Amino acid sequence: MDQDGFSIAIGLAALALLASGLWRGRFDVQALHADRAGRPLAYWAFVLVLALVAFEAWRCAIFVGCGDC
């Protein structure tokens, strides 16, 4: 897998975790747990971090793969 493929895979994984957490109202990643009602600051921190990871992965995939950019 090249660097573009790896960036796309990381972006898809981050989007899948983000969508799952938003749908269920809680995040359970390894030993980290946050839910919308019980720990709202941790929940929104998860949302922010996963959104930034997904955005950066997609940005890297586009600009690394683009020879003219």
Interatomic CA distance for residues 44 and 23, integer angstroms: 13
Interatomic CA distance for residues 67 and 62, integer angstroms: 10
Per the structure, the complete domain to which residue 38 belongs is given by 3-65
pLDDT digits (tens, 9 = 90+) for 30-42: 888 888 888 899 9
Residue where the block lists tokens 């990381």: 10
**Structural domains counted in the chain:** 1
Of all helices (H) and strands (E), which one includes residue 29?
Answer: strand 26-29
Residue 45 banded pLDDT, cuts 50, 70, 90: very high
**Residue 21: count of CB within 10 angstroms of its CB:** 20
pTM confidence score: 0.78
Region 4-27 average pLDDT: 89
Q: ∠ at Cα 17 (11, 36), nearest 5°? A: 135
